[in-house]
Structure 1
Amino acid sequence: MTTATQCPFVARSLPGDGTPLTPSPTLAAWRDEAAFVPLDFQDGHEGLVATRYDAVRSVLEDPRFSMRPGRMPVGPDGAGSGDSAAVPLEAAGDLDEAGQRSDALNLLNLDGEVHSKLRRAVTARFSVRQARSREPWIQAMIAREIERLRTLDRDIDVWRDYAQPISARTHCHVIGIPEHHYETFVALFVEESTAQQKYDFIRALLEERKNNPGEDVITDLLNNPDLDRIEVEGLLRLLMGAGRDSVAYLIATASVALLTNPEQLGTLRADAEKIRPAVEEFMRVGAMFVTLFARTALEDVEIDGTTIPAGTSVSVSPVAANRDPEHWEQPEEFDVERDAFGHLGFGHGIHGCIGQQVARVEIREALTDLLASFPNLALVDAEQLTPQPFAHPVAVYEAGHVLVRLGED
């Protein structure tokens, strides 16, 4: 048995020479080296990173690890690129007192019963059954987006022109944001805005929806007697800001994967039903998170023969775990007929992606309609084919523009 802090390795920063479909070879080298290797964090902490599939799953499902403190790994430039003291996706700025209290209830920061209580309040709307019930609405919405693409007399950016509107509209539909607020939602949660502007929107929306219930998350939260207003606002801020970009990223990245692998594209064109299980392969090879938010050991924890001392923060890499040859055959190959269930593209454990069932429907339907509507679809250029800066300090790949020619002629 070894103790992680006694490993004879020098701590290191995350590599920046990878792309969504071709991760940095450094991750594979670390995976070969040990279950856990040293990693520097922005606050000076010397922690660890896990890249092996079994080790990653073990950390994510072990309650002896906490989401606090919200440490961020050192990026490829050798320095921190964001606020390492907190997990929220943008700085709170001059938030009022109520907003600061709501921000403290971010599910990504919480553990134990407080986390379980807040998560239970929203999970019902993201079940498999609920996702299936949303399919007709999602299909009709995507059909309208396809028709809108036909009106654009230029090359199409799958990321901005197609994937982002689909994910934003579905987000609004499931959460319960009325259509007349769609443009405001985009301005605040897709584009740049302050935390206070987000909370002002959420509060006005809650007042509007009190007497206008629906089959959505907002109605559930307003009717939940176990939640106070601060908790409701905090949950909505997280839900409005999280997950939407991940869905849009996967639609864009899966499009690149298919358009640069004609044999795999041909397989799906020949049998459209194969896209259902293929979504899991898209998630496996195109995972967005190089590392997830770090977990910190609350006590000494032994995993795979390694003792992780109490207080040690561990980042885990879905990107590396999804290509672990000990778990996957020929892991570097993109194969739409592979059984890729069990991938970690949606995370794992109690902090796994709440909206993953709805996300599967969005990704599947968006790609099905795009391929069926434009049989001569061709890739013009994709920024993500070359390394880009991470989109967030936690180490998230950027989708970048994905320019395609519809080729309707």
Structure 2
Amino acid sequence: MTTSSTEIENAMSNTAGCPFHARSLPSDGTPLAPSPRFAEWREQGAFVPLDFQDGHEGLVATRYDAVVSVLQDPRFSMLPARMPVGPATLDEPKSEGAAAAVPLELPGDLDEAAQASELLNLLTLDGAEHSKLRRAVTARFTVRQARSREPWIRDMIAGEVARIRGSKDVVDLWHDYAMPISARTHCHVIGIPPQKYEDFVELFVEPSTAQQKYDFIRALLEERRNDPGEDVITDLLNNPELTQIEIEGLLRLLMGAGRDSVAYLIATASVALLTHPEQMELLRSDVEGVRPAVEEFMRAGSMFVTLFARTATEDVEIEGTIIRAGTSVAVSPVAANRDPAHWGENPEQFDVTRDAFGHIGFGYGIHGCIGQQVARVEIREAITALLEGFPDISLVSAEQLEPHPFAHPVAVYEAGEVLVRLTTA
């Protein structure tokens, strides 16, 4: 049965008290235990009305098949860049004791060239322009490239394990372990020299202005022009199809995107295992099982409550619902990754033996995560090193076990402080 636009509009006019009327994203979920309202919305239909921060009345997709359909359909555009209404924004205070969310960017003016580069954001481009820029960077993020990075990543993580072992008995796995691993790998793949690592952290991990980021990128490009390597920067500098503005825009995105997601997944996977000791023991007894278990880490601990919204450029019918041109749809990986119609019984259960390939943790379609193959290596090696290096590791506390405001206007969970006690055998 097809749901007409009139029926959708009628649903939008319902009161906020209706349990199947979204209006805003729920605030009662955590990374490993999302709000039960997502399950209620899936029961109601493939799409539920959702308000956006600019006043737009759009939809949210919660069923797996509907999410995949939207993400792969070229009739949806990344523009306009609308953000859903959620439980909080970055500038709202968190509860006492919660780790503060780092501001996305400090205010500041941009020069003319930087303003032009800002428009070349892969996250907001469609069609041929998007394909051209994405193609320019994908060569360094293939499965083969990811495998070639494994020895370096493994050695780097061994160094991080040695560092936290010698620091103190209780450490924050997110800040002291996951974040350095993701930041160092980011620098390695992109081509930021080791001596620039601290500068990268100061500008792209800690708060800074967009102009400061561009100044760093431009200086780095000048240094690297006569110093080629096996990295993204070298590929971009050698690409005759790219302008300087396009190169700077691509590096601005790549230096800022993905790093926090990997750190989040390492921290959240650690919490999942530490709160499910029987699952941890399964991996300890067969450490090779960590490789496929990464997919379950991604499925069960998805960072994105919703991805960047897609807007229909024409009338589109999906799962029996007609989505009118101009309607923005927020798709929810968190909800899709727990859809029993796709995953079968017990989709809420964390199970490292589950075949979780096909999850939406890395997005889907042409805007799927470019660096997902490298991310898989980082997560796998980081968790393996913890299992092998700290046989008596135990959880002291984890902020993410309690609901907190989203860490980004697009609606993402935050890893938060993950305190563990390291007691080696």
Once the 2 structures are TM-superposed, how far is the Cα of residue 6 of structure 1 from its aligned partner?
2.8
SS in 1 for 2:49: strand
1:85 match: none
Once the 2 structures are TM-superposed, how far is the Cα of residue 198 of structure 1 from its aligned partner?
0.3
SS in 2 for 1:256: helix
1:133 to 135, 138, 148: 148
CA contact (8 A) 1:5 1:309 kept: no
- Structure 1 CA distance for aligned equivalents of residues 203 and 105 of structure 2: 12
Q: Does 1:288 align with 2:288?
A: no
1:331 to 343, 347, 356: 347
CA contact (8 A) 2:90 2:408 kept: no
Amino acid at match of 2:119: A
CA contact (8 A) 2:397 2:419 kept: yes
Query: Per-residue displacement from partner, 1:92-116 (whole Å, max 9, x unpaired)?
Result: 7301111110010010010000000
1:25 to 31, 36, 59: 36
1:398 match: 414
2:4 match: 3
- Alpha carbons of structure 1 residues 406 and 175: separation in structure 2 relative to 1, 3 Å: same
Once the 2 structures are TM-superposed, how far is the Cα of residue 63 of structure 1 from its aligned partner?
0.2
Q: CA RMSD in A?
A: 1.4
- Structure 2 CA distance for aligned equivalents of residues 5 and 289 of structure 1: 30
Once the 2 structures are TM-superposed, how far is the Cα of residue 221 of structure 1 from its aligned partner?
0.2
Q: Does 1:73 align with 2:84?
A: yes
Matches for 1:1-400 after TM superposition, within 5 Å: 1-4=2-5, 6-7=7-8, 8-9=10-11, 10=14, 12-77=23-88, 90=105, 93-329=108-344, 330-400=346-416
SS in 1 for 2:370: coil
- Alpha carbons of structure 1 residues 81 and 53: separation in structure 2 relative to 1, 3 Å: farther
**Number of residue equivalences:** 403
CA contact (8 A) 1:290 1:317 kept: yes
- Alpha carbons of structure 1 residues 126 and 80: separation in structure 2 relative to 1, 3 Å: closer
1:407 match: 423
Amino acid at match of 1:354: I
- Structure 1 CA distance for aligned equivalents of residues 238 and 4 of structure 2: 49
CA contact (8 A) 1:73 1:80 kept: no
Amino acid at match of 1:347: G
SS in 2 for 1:181: helix
Amino acid at match of 2:251: L
- Structure 2 CA distance for aligned equivalents of residues 335 and 233 of structure 1: 42
**What's the TM-score, normalizing by structure 2?**
0.93
CA contact (8 A) 2:311 2:329 kept: yes
- Structure 1 CA distance for aligned equivalents of residues 172 and 364 of structure 2: 31
Once the 2 structures are TM-superposed, how far is the Cα of residue 3 of structure 1 from its aligned partner?
2.4
- Structure 2 CA distance for aligned equivalents of residues 258 and 45 of structure 1: 40
- Alpha carbons of structure 1 residues 292 and 89: separation in structure 2 relative to 1, 3 Å: farther
Once the 2 structures are TM-superposed, how far is the Cα of residue 90 of structure 1 from its aligned partner?
3.8
Query: Per-residue displacement from partner, 1:313-367 (whole Å, max 9, x unpaired)?
Result: 0000000000000001210111100000000000000000000000000000000
Amino acid at match of 1:173: H
Once the 2 structures are TM-superposed, how far is the Cα of residue 246 of structure 1 from its aligned partner?
0.3
Amino acid at match of 1:343: H
SS in 2 for 1:273: helix
SS in 2 for 1:364: helix
Once the 2 structures are TM-superposed, how far is the Cα of residue 154 of structure 1 from its aligned partner?
3.6
- Alpha carbons of structure 1 residues 300 and 327: separation in structure 2 relative to 1, 3 Å: same
SS in 1 for 2:343: coil
Give aligned-pair identity as a percent. 75
Amino acid at match of 1:398: E
2:98 match: none
Once the 2 structures are TM-superposed, how far is the Cα of residue 89 of structure 1 from its aligned partner?
5.2
Once the 2 structures are TM-superposed, how far is the Cα of residue 80 of structure 1 from its aligned partner?
9.6
CA contact (8 A) 1:75 1:81 kept: no
CA contact (8 A) 2:156 2:181 kept: yes
Once the 2 structures are TM-superposed, how far is the Cα of residue 28 of structure 1 from its aligned partner?
1.1
Listed as ranges, the gaps of 5+ residues in structure 2 are 15-20, 93-102
Once the 2 structures are TM-superposed, how far is the Cα of residue 75 of structure 1 from its aligned partner?
1.0
Once the 2 structures are TM-superposed, how far is the Cα of residue 81 of structure 1 from its aligned partner?
6.8
Once the 2 structures are TM-superposed, how far is the Cα of residue 229 of structure 1 from its aligned partner?
0.2
- Structure 2 CA distance for aligned equivalents of residues 63 and 22 of structure 1: 32
CA contact (8 A) 1:188 1:197 kept: yes
- Alpha carbons of structure 1 residues 62 and 81: separation in structure 2 relative to 1, 3 Å: farther
SS in 1 for 2:330: strand
Once the 2 structures are TM-superposed, how far is the Cα of residue 5 of structure 1 from its aligned partner?
5.4
Once the 2 structures are TM-superposed, how far is the Cα of residue 91 of structure 1 from its aligned partner?
6.8
- Alpha carbons of structure 1 residues 313 and 381: separation in structure 2 relative to 1, 3 Å: same
- Structure 1 CA distance for aligned equivalents of residues 52 and 153 of structure 2: 40
CA contact (8 A) 1:42 1:80 kept: no
- Structure 1 CA distance for aligned equivalents of residues 76 and 343 of structure 2: 26
